[in-house]
Homo-oligomer: A and B are copies of this chain.
Amino acid sequence: MPFEDLGTPSLLLNRDVFENNCRVMQERAQGAEVRLRPHMKTAKSVEAYKLATRGGFEGITVSTLAEADFFADAGVRDILYAVGIVPGKLTTAQKIQDKGVKLGLITDNAAVIPALDDEAERLGTTFSVAVEIDSGGGRGGVLSESADLLDLAAALKNSRRLSFEGVLTHAGHSYGFSTAEEIAEIAEQERLAVVRAAERLRKAGFSCPLVSAGSTPTAVFARSFEGLSEIRPGVYMFGDVDQLFIGTCKADEIAATVLTSVIGHNRSSRRLLVDAGGLALSKDISASIFSSQSGYGLVCKLDGTIIDEIFVESVHQEHGLIAAVSGNLPFEDYPVGSRLRILPIHVCMTVAAYEHYEVHDAQGSLVARWNRVNRW
């Protein structure tokens, strides 16, 4: 039986699929002559980093300073921390820079710049900061046509210890669409937001080397990367059920799955119980905007074949409840003690519950264990 030496729940990673996903994106970026700075917030693994940057630019994007520190220790020398910086984090940032790393920081707030500058002064160091642009996602950033943009660049340029590096955006709202045309539109919006911001800045006399954009959907469906210095997708390495519906991957291109045991049959509620619940899968149900029958995960056999008839309908902390699409669950096909694999809805959230990946090849043989850097 494949994976029989593993306990459940465990996090499996198909190395061959992962490697191919990395290769395809690297080729796409190189074909479009744009630098790929992969976002390591999902993978959080050194081995994954090596595959994601193979044959390309060696810099990365991270979502926590814990990741930055981890990858610094692994020898990465160009790291962009793509979450708004605050003065209280600069001591840690300095320690990472002191490991020989070119660490990029971002902000969208002019009012905090004096405090950042004071803290850099106190630490006796300098920091390179880019300005975050809101390209429609409504998360971080200022609008590219706003007065704030020039104010921010000026405040950075005029500080003692900070330098202005450029502009960055992330079209997180690309996750809400499922046609190539719609996502290509978002990609163009994302691209133009930073390209126009860079143009305004250059016209006003600022140097703007960093013009960074990217998410997996926009990286896959963009019609143009013109004017961008780099793209920063991350989820493409894995794929997941969200990406399947969005259309950036096929089912057999999903690299990570959760190995689970059937632990009960609830015949009165017609549910199969598995030991992968809210902690093992996460409570992310983002694919529900695309399908009422995706729930907390799709289900596949041990060999990876998807079982179309069932899905993880609900979760409790340590219980997953699998229901049949038809309502009629063939309990005899899933005896208690048997095992299944679950395709994650939103892989970034699911893999975060695990300390390592149990890495296997396309044939289902375990070949390695890759550590993750979790938390902050």
A216 to chain B, nearest CB (A): 13
- Tell whether, in the assembled complex, residue B349 and residue A283 are in contact, meaning their CB atoms are under 8 Å apart: yes
Q: Does A111 sit at the interface, judged by CB under 8 A? A: yes
The residue in chain B whose Cβ has the minimal distance to the Cβ of A314 is: B139
Question: A88 is contacted by which of B271, B337, B355 (Cβ under 8 Å)?
Answer: B337
Q: Mark A112-123, 1 if CB is under 8 A from B, else 0.
A: 100100000000
CB-defined contacts of A354 to chain B, threshold 8 Å: 375
- Tell whether, in the assembled complex, residue B268 and residue A138 are in contact, meaning their CB atoms are under 8 Å apart: yes
- Tell whether, in the assembled complex, residue B139 and residue A273 are in contact, meaning their CB atoms are under 8 Å apart: yes
Per assembly, the copies of the chain total 2
Q: Does A210 sit at the interface, judged by CB under 8 A? A: no
A93 to chain B, nearest CB (A): 12
CB-defined contacts of A282 to chain B, threshold 8 Å: 282-283
- Tell whether, in the assembled complex, residue B88 and residue A134 are in contact, meaning their CB atoms are under 8 Å apart: no
The residue in chain B whose Cβ has the minimal distance to the Cβ of A345 is: B283
Question: A376 is contacted by which of B8, B141, B352, B375 (Cβ under 8 Å)?
Answer: B8
CB-defined contacts of A266 to chain B, threshold 8 Å: 108, 134, 138-141
- Tell whether, in the assembled complex, residue B268 and residue A143 are in contact, meaning their CB atoms are under 8 Å apart: yes
Can you show 16 pairs from A to B with CB atoms below 8 A apart? A83-B318, A85-B263, A108-B266, A109-B265, A111-B336, A134-B268, A138-B321, A139-B266, A139-B269, A139-B321, A140-B319, A141-B264, A279-B352, A283-B285, A283-B349, A352-B353
- Taking Cβ atoms with an 8 Å cutoff, the residues of A that contact B are 7-10, 41, 63-64, 83-89, 92, 107-109, 111-112, 115, 132, 134, 138-143, 146, 148, 172, 261-269, 271, 273, 275, 278-280, 282-285, 316-319, 321, 335-337, 348-349, 352-355, 375-376
A-B interface, 7 closest residue pairs, ranked by CB to CB distance from nearest: A138-B269, A84-B263, A112-B336, A84-B264, A109-B336, A86-B337, A283-B283
